[in-house]
Amino acid sequence: MTTETNTPTTSSHPVRKAALVLAAAAALTATGVSAAAATTDQPKPSGPGAPTVNDALQREVARRVLEVGPPGYIARIDDGRRVHTYARGVADRATGRRITVRDQFEAGSNTKTFTAVLALQQVDRRKLKLDAPVEKYLPGVVPNGENISVRMLLNHTSGLFSYTGDPDFFVGMENDPQHVYTDAELLAVAFRHEPYFAPGKGWQYSNTNYTLLGMILQKQTGRSLPDLVRQRITGPLGLRHTYFADPRATNTGPGYAHGYAIKFASGTPQYTDVSSWPLGGWAGAAGAIVTTTSDLSRFFSAVLQGRLFSQEQLKQMKTTVPLPDGFPIKGGYGLGLFRTDSPCGTVWGHGGDTMGHHSTAAATEDGRRVAVTDSTGEPNEATENPGVERYYRTILFGADAVTVCQMLGKPVPSEVLDNLRGITPAPSAAK
């Protein structure tokens, strides 16, 4: 399907909702909720920095997340005064092991920020030019590549169809879950479809963009993406529990949060453990990072403080294009980074969804406050139903918004709380 509009399209699988989920903490801006619409019936904190009310609210949030399907939920919130951590539920439904905030999880499209960092490092090294055509770096690979720049890949203005938007892609994955896709296979899926729009004439989130960036990085450096992440990001930052799945997560024992694809159509949630599926074999440069809440928090703090590249590249990363009219949040997208104008203030970050996880990372512009969350379940159905709607209302329009408000030290808008508390649990989903 070809479109020349800025209106985002959404494929039939929940992982395809990346752009909607990524900045979920601010999703209520679409309803006109503002920070001024804060609830007035909460007790006041007892003193400067007193955490009691917010801690109690976050515990309620964790409980309500579990009630709508995910087996586990973790959060790490640095509000500039102290770090709050929350963990509820199980990391492994088979063994019943309790989840902890130290568990590793699939970070999904948070990976895009890692890939963007690697690309901007290449710009600093004068190996890559943001406004050079993709054709220069991958000759003959991308249709119309002479009119698509590297910057367009990074900020999702290329118009290239996202391979995860193909209606048969996830059907094929479920039929053969251990298949490891090559970059060429993923591009073949994407290029069977017409572009969303002409290069530079719209905005549409597309995993294909980051597959191509990964190919450029590997071709230029002669190194694999796992090696590049280790040598240029996790090593320098001391992120000991973060790596690029190649193609699978390598630590799936104690300390690893299993992810679950959830089907709600029968009424009672049905779970499939997808933690042994090859994340790197389909998400790649667009979504294959495995990490922890602490490591991901340190990463986004370092990014926003310009510790991994020059200040000029930080400026480029934070130069955003507006999200389309009708998009459920307000803000913009830079180079692998969302700017979200949330009900409680502007934040920067990303987020991601895999077959079994929904995670978010939000930070203040100076990187001094960061909030990271992960829910260990993701709807896996081609059609909407009450269970799917309940899941997204609770997590996107409730839990994620509360988390950002707590990080910023702002009262949670009453509309967010009303939405969160008005959702009934899924049958037999509570843990």
Q: Domain locations in the chain?
A: 14-114+224-421
What whole-number distance in Å separates Cα of residue 168 and Cα of residue 24? 26
CATH architecture, domain defined by 14-114+224-421: 3-Layer(aba) Sandwich (3.40)
What is the model's pLDDT at position 44?
34
| DSSP reduced 3-state for 96 | coil
CA angle 274, 61, 71 (to 5 degrees): 20
* Non-local CB neighbours of 272 within 8 Å, separated by 6+ positions: 260, 261, 262, 263, 380
Give pairs for 222-227: CB < 8 Å, separation 24+. Answer: 225/115, 225/284, 225/285, 225/288, 226/280
Residue 373 near residue 154 (C-beta atoms within 8 A): no
Q: In a structure prediction context, what are the per-residue pLDDT tens digits for the chain, which is 431 residues long?
A: 322 233 333 333 433 343 333 333 233 222 222 222 222 223 233 334 433 347 888 889 999 999 999 999 999 999 999 999 999 999 999 999 999 999 999 999 999 999 999 999 999 999 999 999 999 999 999 999 999 999 999 999 999 999 999 999 999 999 999 999 999 999 999 999 999 999 999 999 999 999 999 999 999 999 999 999 999 999 999 999 999 999 999 877 779 999 999 999 988 999 999 999 999 999 999 999 999 999 999 999 999 999 999 999 999 999 999 999 877 778 999 999 999 998 899 999 999 999 999 999 999 999 999 999 999 999 998 788 999 999 999 998 889 999 999 999 999 988 888 888 888 888 876 44
Residues forming a β-bridge with 133: 149
Residues with catalytic function: 109
Closest CA to 166 of 178, 144, 154, 181: 181
